[in-house]
Amino acid sequence: MSDIPGKSIVIGKGPEDLMDVSYKLFKHQKELLACKDDMVYMRAGRGSGKSFIASLIAVLALLKGQRVLIMAQDYRALTEVIMAECIQRLYEILKPNQFEVHRVSMKITYGKTGVIYFSSYSNMDSVRGFSKIQLSILDEVCLAPPNLFEVLAYCQRDLDEDPRIVMCSTPRPANWVTSFVKDRNIRVITAKTSDNKKIKPAEIEL
């Protein structure tokens, strides 16, 4: 069981290959998890559990056999944060021999169709090679180039259902994402570092 406090989500009680695991989520994490909008933006302070919920959303899509793309600012952010979080979720939910981590090609596979690709904003050209991406998770999206969604459009074609995009970022000064979200009336979910009661006030001030 995760030590993240708040509302609970139970995984298992279904397919035999899933472990029986329960996560306690913050209100903003539960809101993002329940959101079915084609595009949503979470603006959350450090330590508020942004990477945790992003990894959980990605893994749940993987377990459904979906094709997922996760992007972050650079290789280090991918391998040390969001990819590591996804692997941790999988070890919590599945048995180790039920998924495969491909560290060289930066992907995780499950079953016949489930895959999570990892790519950075610093290597946008590589993204054009992906196809039929059903879910894109954009970590620290404010650090991405403004042509991000033009490139993503190539990856999300020829789908039976509309693709989903989940954007995440720590609070930053006004930038191209600010106007993009406002112009398209995209749902914004906010959270503060202080929403995580496990973080001491002295740590927040650092």
User: Could you report the per-residue pLDDT of 8-22, keeping only the tens digit for each?
Assistant: 455 544 455 666 678
pLDDT of residue 29: 94
Summarize the confidence of residues 179-191 as an average pLDDT. Answer: 96
pLDDT band at residue 204 under the 50/70/90 scheme: very low
Quote the pLDDT of residue 2.
42
Q: Is it the case that residue 203 has pLDDT exceeding 50?
A: no
Alpha-carbon distance values, 56 to 128, 133, 137, 177 (Å): 25, 17, 11, 24
What's the pTM?
0.87
* Residue 169 CB neighbour total at 10 angstroms: 20
